[in-house]
């Protein structure tokens, strides 16, 4: 009997010792929610929570609660629902992001006003456990102010709501023809550091831009090299534009090879996720093929007729932009007759506009006449232009560029300039080194083309 009791005791000790690491591991694997301020300005900040599931089973829903000190309030937010009671705020999942697989993370964010930060955080009723991550102190221009209340009191999205195509015009929710003006990022694989919370504050507030084009290259070190990373980058930029009340153009920046059908399966995957994630937003515009080239309109139309339904089954209302032949020149850089060919066989969908690109130092009266004639037949959106030659470099031709912009103003044709970076070429608005320094405000770090385009963006349409 004593031997049996001793054996049982030893078994119990072995079991306890064996179980101890498991208990420690389980404790270490508790889901966490970690907070960081990713941008600050004089009277506020942009905050982000990252929820990480370190456990072995999926989380099917989540709720993050915290307090803010007196004098600190919340503004816009994204990727979550929000309920507040006094200074206690509770964020919860949306329909699409409640599940977090083991080893996975997700983020949600918000704008705060005041100097305080969240405290007393709890995730699904338990201490958040992730602590507060080190808060970066970015160098932000003194001219940067919070993006929540722009000049005039309304952001472009608040003023116009869900856009749609009415006839040959881009119209707001009230049916009024409008013109958007804004900037395109450079390739995210090279210049993501130029499109930051601080620089987009300047673009939205100081430049008073209506729209940000998010330029995601497919090849050239872009999407095909790491689909997850680049899709997440686009998600993030959509949220940053949304928080600042700007429209966001999701640019599938295919260039070489020129046939968009080469990337058909990749495009299906990408646009399905983007449209599914952001379908509740009213500020997302889809540009499904940047500059088709070397193929006829029939090939571009075939691609569009397959990609647009992927978007439409998830986002029924968003405007879709379709590239045109010969580097989106409406055929002017090659075969000619683009507008006639497109008008004779348009894309099989509604709420669609056709894309035109130009570079003023290369594209003379023939191109100007081409887009003028096309505007009589097609709804157009200029998603890329420069005041230099078609390489985005060289001397500026502001006179020719202004002739284009005068035409676009008279026809309410929206436009986006290339590009919001500090690339060495003359078409990048910032001088080299600006993005690393984080000094975006004012005109002291702008190239000649940057000063010129900033002035024209700052004379907005009469929303």
User: How distant is the alpha carbon of residue 407 from its chain centre?
Assistant: 28
Beta bridge partners of 177: 171
Q: Write the class of the CATH domain 156-457.
A: alpha beta
- 384 has catalytic annotation: yes
DSSP class of residue 363 equals -
Q: pTM of the entire structure?
A: 0.72
Task: Work out the end-to-end distance of the chain between its first and last CA atoms, rounded to an integer number of angstroms.
Answer: 92
The owner of tokens 């990727």 is 79
Rounded to an integer, the average pLDDT of 280-300 is 96
pLDDT score of 422 more than 80: yes
* pLDDT of the residue at 82: 87
Quick check: is 291 catalytic?
A: yes
* pLDDT of 408 higher than 50: yes
Residue 160, by phi and psi: left (phi above 0), alpha (psi -120 to 50) or beta?
A: alpha
What pLDDT digit, counting tens, does each position of 181-213 carry? Answer: 999 999 999 999 999 999 999 999 999 999 999
The model's confidence at residue 110, banded by pLDDT at 50, 70 and 90, is: confident
Instruction: Look at residue 184 and give its three-state secondary structure.
Output: strand
Facing residues of 212 across strands? Answer: 183, 248
Which one of the listed residues 206, 287, 291, 448 is annotated catalytic?
291
316-351 pLDDT, tens digit each? 999 999 999 999 999 999 877 779 999 999 999 999
CA distance 36 to 46: 9
Q: How would residue 76 be classed by pLDDT, with cut points 50, 70 and 90?
A: low
Catalytic residue among 206, 287, 384, 448: 384
Is the pLDDT assigned to residue 18 strictly greater than 70? Answer: no
CB 270 within 8 A of CB 252: yes
The CATH architecture that domain 32-132 belongs to is Sandwich (2.60)
Domain layout of the chain by residue ranges: 32-132, 156-457
Question: Can you spell out the DSSP letters for 400-454?
Answer: HHHHHHHHHHHHT--EEEE--S--SSTTSSBPTTHHHHT--SSSTTB-HHHHHHH
* Residue 130 banded pLDDT, cuts 50, 70, 90: low
């Amino acid at each position: 009997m004593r031997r049996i009791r001793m054996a049982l005791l030893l078994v119990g000790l072995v079991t306890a010792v064996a179980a101890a690491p498991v208990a420690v591991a389980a404790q270490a694997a508790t889901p966490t929610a970690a907070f960081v301020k990713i941008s600050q300005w004089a009277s506020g900040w942009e905050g982000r929570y990252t929820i990480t599931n370190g456990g072995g089973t999926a989380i099917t829903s989540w709720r993050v609660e915290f307090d803010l000190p007196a004098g600190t309030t919340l503004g816009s937010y994204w990727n979550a629902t929000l309920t507040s009671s006094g200074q206690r705020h509770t964020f919860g999942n949306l329909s699409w992001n409640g599940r977090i697989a083991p080893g996975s993370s997700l983020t949600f964010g918000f704008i705060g006003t005041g100097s305080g930060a969240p405290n007393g955080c709890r995730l699904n009723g338990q201490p958040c456990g992730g602590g507060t991550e080190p808060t970066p102190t970015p160098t932000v221009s003194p001219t940067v102010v919070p993006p929540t209340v722009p000049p005039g009191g309304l952001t472009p999205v608040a003023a116009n709501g869900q856009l749609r195509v009415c006839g040959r015009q881009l119209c707001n929710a009230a049916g009024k023809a409008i013109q958007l003006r804004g900037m395109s990022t450079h390739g995210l694989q090279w210049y993501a550091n130029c499109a930051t919370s601080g620089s987009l504050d300047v673009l939205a507030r100081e430049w008073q831009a209506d729209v940000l084009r998010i330029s995601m290259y497919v090849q050239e070190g872009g999407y095909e090299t790491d689909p997850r990373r680049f899709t997440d980058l686009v998600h993030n930029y959509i949220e940053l534009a949304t928080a600042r009340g700007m429209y966001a153009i999701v640019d599938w920046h295919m260039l070489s090879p020129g046939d968009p059908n080469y990337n058909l399966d990749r495009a299906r995957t990408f646009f399905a996720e983007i449209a599914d994630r952001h379908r509740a937003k009213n500020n997302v515009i889809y540009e499904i093929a940047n500059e088709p080239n070397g193929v006829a309109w029939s090939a571009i139309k075939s691609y569009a007729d397959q990609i647009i339904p992927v978007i439409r089954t998830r986002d029924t209302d968003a405007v879709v932009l379709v590239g045109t032949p010969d580097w989106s020149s409406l055929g002017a850089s090659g075969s000619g007759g683009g507008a006639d060919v497109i008008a004779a066989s348009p894309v099989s969908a509604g709420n669609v506009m056709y894309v035109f690109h130009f570079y003023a130092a290369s594209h003379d009266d023939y191109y100007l006449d081409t887009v003028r004639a096309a505007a009589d037949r097609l709804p157009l959106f200029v998603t890329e232009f420069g005041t230099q030659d078609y390489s985005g470099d060289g001397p500026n031709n502001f006179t020719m560029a202004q002739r284009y912009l005068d035409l676009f103003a008279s026809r309410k044709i929206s436009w986006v300039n290339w590009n919001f970076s500090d690339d060495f070429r003359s078409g990048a608005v910032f001088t080299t080194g600006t993005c690393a320094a984080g000094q975006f405000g004012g005109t002291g770090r702008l190239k000649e083309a940057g000063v010129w385009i900033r002035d024209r963006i700052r004379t907005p349409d009469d929303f």
